[in-house]
Structure 1
Amino acid sequence: MNTGYRRLHLLVEGQTEEIVVNNVLEPHLRDRGWTVTQSIVATKRPASGASHKGGVSSWAKLERDIKLLLGNTDCTC
């Protein structure tokens, strides 16, 4: 069995999915040697102020977040 570092990053749609990851998936997988992190899809990124999260409205927005995550090798998402 491979005992190397195992990491899973989940891109979730909203706060409900984030809760499931934090309360169900992460503890279960952590006990099996996984590091689990998640990001909520950003649905609006205004020039100033906080971004709005949750609710996928188009493939283009989801694709942008996926590409940003794939380019992030430090997994501090």
Structure 2
Amino acid sequence: MTKPGRIACEIPFCCRTAPAEKHGDDAQIICGKCWRLADPATRRENRRLYRLADPSAAEIETFYASWEAIKAQITEAKGGIA
């Protein structure tokens, strides 16, 4: 359970939060500590897709697929699976 006005990290069993006023109430975040556990190439691709000024529908779908892959990769690493 997070405090009001805070957003929890998307990675299970991570207790870090971020301010909702900075990201929005419905935003998903991965804290910096967890983010560094992901593969650097996957992170770079995700950031490139995030920064596109006018993305197409295919690029948006690719971004969300990349986000889910990063979450799965980090969850496996934190759980000792990888």
Asked if these proteins are the same fold (TM beyond 0.5), I'd say no
TM-score by length of 2: 0.32
Higher relative contact order (CA 8 A, sep 6+): 1
TM-score by length of 1: 0.34
Per residue, is there more strand in 1 or in 2? 1
